[in-house]
């Protein structure tokens, strides 16, 4: 007897979820535009595709029996406020800590040690020793992490061996964490500013002209959050001046158009939203999915619930 019909986004997820409760029927929908594996009106627990194209959120409107949407992304901005009452939305907090933190540390080191410049020189078969040396270094830097969640903690743990001076900012101040209202005072003191906040109405455009002008000369901005957290026009103007530099895994718009001026700035390192795209993602993500499904069928509260306040 089928008790819970569940759709997941990856065939491998069947095994990666671990043992499932009796009565759970699993089908796979890899993309919102793929042939549906059944009647969406019967789906009760849904794991949507990761960073999928198409109207994946709109498909939820056809799932009249839907009770749970379990994301395998850390960000839930595309979903908040778009599900009907009675549907529980859960994000993948904790799943992306390790690999996103790796990207942040890599981006900081690559930018400060000018690996981007040397890669371009290699492509041109040019020995570029005298062009940018001596480079900067991470040791002793003052790093401001804007977004003091689990990914922020993972970044801090990986930066600690570099003997940096760490400070944290969150929406509200707490022990050891500054409030966002303190940014005007903190930004001029930071050598590296790391963005890890979720995209919400409060964080959209947080990095505006005033934010950028408050950053210290020569500082590095690292965006591993969402593109719209930064005002692209203001960011491009400030970076074009050469006063600060940036490492961006996310942009607004995304993908970044081929003719956009950010591509050609020598003080900007851009990766195509790859911080979360690693081989270990699916095992970690579906371990969470399996735990959540077992909690749901047992009647226990779900972890990582996302609310409108986000």
Catalytic center residues = 226, 254, 273
Question: Whose CA is closest to 20, among 32, 35, 4?
Answer: 4
| Rounded Cα distance, 163 and 273, in Å | 28
Least Cα distance to 221 among 186, 268, 265, 155 occurs for 268
Angle made by CA atoms 236, 269, 228, in degrees to the nearest 5: 50
CA distance 211 to 263: 22
Residue holding tokens 């990914």? 151
Q: Are 199 and 225 in contact (CB under 8 A)?
A: yes
194: nearest Cα among 100, 278, 273, 114: 100
- State how far the alpha carbon of 182 is from the alpha carbons of 140, 178, 198, 204, 238, in Å: 22, 7, 18, 18, 21
Strands 4-8 and 24-28: parallel
Is the preceding peptide bond at 59 cis, omega within 30 degrees of 0?
no
Q: b vs e for 244-260, b when ≥16 Cβ sit within 10 Å of the residue's Cβ?
A: bbbbbbbbbeeebeeee
Distant-in-sequence, close-in-space partners of 229: CB < 8 Å, separation ≥ 6:
195, 197, 199, 203, 204, 205, 206, 207, 223, 250
Largest CA distance in the chain: 72
């Amino acid at each position: 007897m089928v008790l819970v019909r569940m759709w997941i986004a990856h065939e491998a997820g069947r095994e990666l979820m671990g043992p499932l409760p009796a009565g759970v029927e699993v089908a796979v929908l890899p993309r919102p535009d793929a042939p549906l594996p059944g009647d969406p009106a019967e789906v009760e627990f849904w794991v949507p595709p990761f960073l999928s194209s198409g109207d994946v959120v709109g498909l939820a409107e056809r799932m009249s029996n839907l009770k749970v949407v379990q994301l395998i992304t850390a960000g839930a901005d595309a979903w908040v406020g778009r599900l009907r009452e009675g549907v529980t939305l859960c994000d993948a907090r904790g799943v992306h800590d390790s690999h996103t933190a790796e990207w942040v540390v890599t981006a900081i080191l690559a930018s400060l040690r000018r690996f981007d410049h040397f890669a371009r020189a290699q492509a041109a078969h040019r020995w570029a020793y005298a062009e940018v040396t001596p480079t900067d270094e991470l040791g002793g830097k003052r790093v401001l992490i804007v977004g003091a969640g689990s990914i922020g903690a993972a970044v801090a743990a990986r930066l600690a061996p570099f003997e940096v001076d760490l400070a944290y900012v969150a929406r509200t101040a707490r022990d050891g964490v500054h409030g966002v209202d303190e940014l005007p005072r903190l930004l001029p003191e930071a050598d590296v500013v790391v963005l890890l906040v979720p995209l919400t109405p409060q964080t959209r455009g947080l990095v505006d002209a005033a934010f950028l002008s408050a950053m210290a000369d020569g500082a590095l901005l690292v965006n591993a959050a969402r593109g719209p957290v930064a005002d692209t026009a203001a960011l491009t103007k400030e970076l074009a001046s050469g006063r600060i530099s940036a490492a961006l895994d996310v942009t607004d718009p995304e993908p970044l158009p081929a003719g956009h001026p950010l591509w050609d700035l020598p003080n900007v390192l851009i990766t195509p939203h790859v911080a979360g795209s690693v081989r270990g993602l699916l095992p970690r993500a579906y371990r969470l999915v399996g735990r959540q499904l077992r909690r749901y069928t047992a009647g226990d509260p779900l972890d990582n619930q996302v609310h409108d306040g986000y």
